[in-house]
């Protein structure tokens, strides 16, 4: 069992290490980062609770790729992460640089991804290696990129109070949109009985994945540059 937990943690750990050292001006307190990671793990419980409530209410979304991607995954998961992130960091004095929003959003998201990885790997321990590779190369980095967009706009809202509400909406909606499109392309490709359609959707998926990476790297660089003295604000 220990090795499955280790495999589940590894993708999240690698990304946390990367974003920690990418924060070059003022490192965030380890204790607070661990708390953010724990809040991310807690967000899985929030997500599961919402699913249970919706199922008890008779709300069906699992048989439709679009509803499953956007409602079953993107909206519920990103809302859970978003509100826990704000409850942890919005009024915290350590949130004092523009890059911090990305750092804490990523740690929350990686806590979520760790638990999600474990659930997928434990679900079928007989084929855990392919599942681990898929989570390492695609799913966990995707959660990272959703978090970068969310954290970027949370920082914009924090340091630009005049447009706070608008940018908080952008923070949540951008993560939901990226997550929803990402999952929808995969789910539709998997559900389609037409080989050509599935192939086209997978090509679109890889194009979208490249787009997310380019967007995420751009936001990381912009937030980092904004923290330099005499720089333009976000």
What SS3 state is found at 26? Answer: coil
The vertex-199 CA angle with 195 and 203, nearest 5°, equals: 170
Distances (CA, A) of 33 to 101, 127, 151, 174, 233: 12, 32, 14, 23, 25
What SS3 state is found at 219? Answer: helix
The CA radius of gyration of the chain, in Å to the nearest whole number, is 18
Return the sign of the alpha-carbon dihedral for residues 217, 105, 188, 9.
positive
* pLDDT by 10s per residue, the chain, length 234: 667 788 889 999 999 999 999 998 899 999 999 999 999 999 999 999 999 999 999 888 888 899 999 999 999 999 999 999 999 999 999 999 999 999 999 999 999 999 999 998 888 777 778 888 888 899 999 999 999 999 999 999 999 988 999 999 999 999 999 999 999 999 999 888 899 999 999 999 999 999 999 999 999 999 999 877 655 455
The per-residue pLDDT for 89 is 95
Q: How far apart are CA 56 and CA 155, in angstroms?
A: 37
The per-residue pLDDT for 176 is 98
For the chain, the structural domain boundaries read 2-226
């Amino acid at each position: 069992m220990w090795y499955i937990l280790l495999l589940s943690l590894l993708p999240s750990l690698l990304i946390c290490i990367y974003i920690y050292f990418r924060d070059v001006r003022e490192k965030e307190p380890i204790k607070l980062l661990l708390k953010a990671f724990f809040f991310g793990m807690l967000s899985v419980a929030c997500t599961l609770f919402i699913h249970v409530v919706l199922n008890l209410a008779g709300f069906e979304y699992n048989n439709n790729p679009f509803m499953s991607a956007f409602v079953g995954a993107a909206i519920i998961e990103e809302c859970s992460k978003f509100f826990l992130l704000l409850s942890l960091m919005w009024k915290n004095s350590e949130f004092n640089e523009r890059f911090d929003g990305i750092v804490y959003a990523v740690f929350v998201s990686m806590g979520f991804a760790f638990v999600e990885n474990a659930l997928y790997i434990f679900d079928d321990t007989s084929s855990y290696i392919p599942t681990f590779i898929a989570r390492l190369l695609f799913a966990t980095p995707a959660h990272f990129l959703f978090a970068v967009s969310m954290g970027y706009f949370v920082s914009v809202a924090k340091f630009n109070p005049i447009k706070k509400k608008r940018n908080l909406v952008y923070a949540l909606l951008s993560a939901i949109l990226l997550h929803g499109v990402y999952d929808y392309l995969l789910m539709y490709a998997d559900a389609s009985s037409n080989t050509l359609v599935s192939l086209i959707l997978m090509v679109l998926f890889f194009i979208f994945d490249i787009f997310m990476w380019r967007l995420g790297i751009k936001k990381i660089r912009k937030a980092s540059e904004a923290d330099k003295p005499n720089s333009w604000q976000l």
